[in-house]
Amino acid sequence: MSELQCTILGEGCRMGTYILFIRLKAPLLIPFGRFMGGRPVEAPEGDYVYVGSALGERASGSPLALRLLRHASRSGKKPAHPIRRLMLREFQAAGLTSGPSARHPLKHLRWHVDYLLERREAELFRVIAIRSPLRLEDALSVVLNTHPAAEALAPRLGAQDRKQGAHLLRLYDTAAVMADMENAALHLTGN
């Protein structure tokens, strides 16, 4: 896939917020763990966006890079998303990781987005990593949930710890949402 992109905004910080763009190549009826009592959610073919964060300092490593590399991996012997190699190179160049990071063979599905990214029908194709100690996830979620080209599959999907909104949404105009999310991230970080 030639459209793989990894954008890193901000500097000097190893934690932050991130935006994932995912392409679903076939429709799925997918349970997202215990979400909605484990009942499957209909996910039509198309593009999706997810916003999340990896905050908290660690003595070594980068919470942001580690979380994103984890999202780009699949459990067991399943192949990683093709973007993972690009991410690793970009993170090394940005000083977010010092060497090759192992796959997550014992990766447990934890976040709602994990259940989608685990599927072979889903392909992670663009990542925006925002290096900042500030919790930008909620502000970016507001942009997504009010965007005319984005729609939640279910209320609070990807955001069980929030009172409203969703963090995993379907896109109807991927290019417009990408541009608006990158602009929102730049605005929030003061760049």
List residues bridging with 53 in a β-sheet.
Answer: 17
Q: Which of 126, 134, 135 is nearest to 181 (CA)?
A: 126
Each residue's pLDDT tens digit, 70-103: 999 998 888 999 999 999 999 999 988 876 654 4
**Which residues does 140 contact at the CB level (< 8 Å), separation at least 6?**
17, 19, 51, 181, 184, 185, 188
The model carries a pTM of 0.92
What band does 16 get if pLDDT is binned at 50, 70 and 90?
A: very high
Task: Name the CA dihedral angle for 163, 165, 166, 171, rounded to a multiple of 10 degrees.
Answer: 180
55-62: average pLDDT: 71
On the question of pLDDT at 47 being above 60, the answer is yes
Q: Which of 51, 2, 47, 3 is nearest to 25 (CA)?
A: 47
Give the three-state DSSP class for 114: helix
Structure tokens at 13: 């910080």
In the prediction, which pLDDT does 2 show?
47
Alpha-carbon separation of residue 144 from 24, 104, 159 (angstroms): 18, 29, 13
Domain chopping of the chain, boundaries: 5-136
Instruction: Determine what percent of the chain is predicted with pLDDT higher than 70.
Output: 85
CA distance 71 to 52: 11
In the prediction, which pLDDT does 107 show?
75
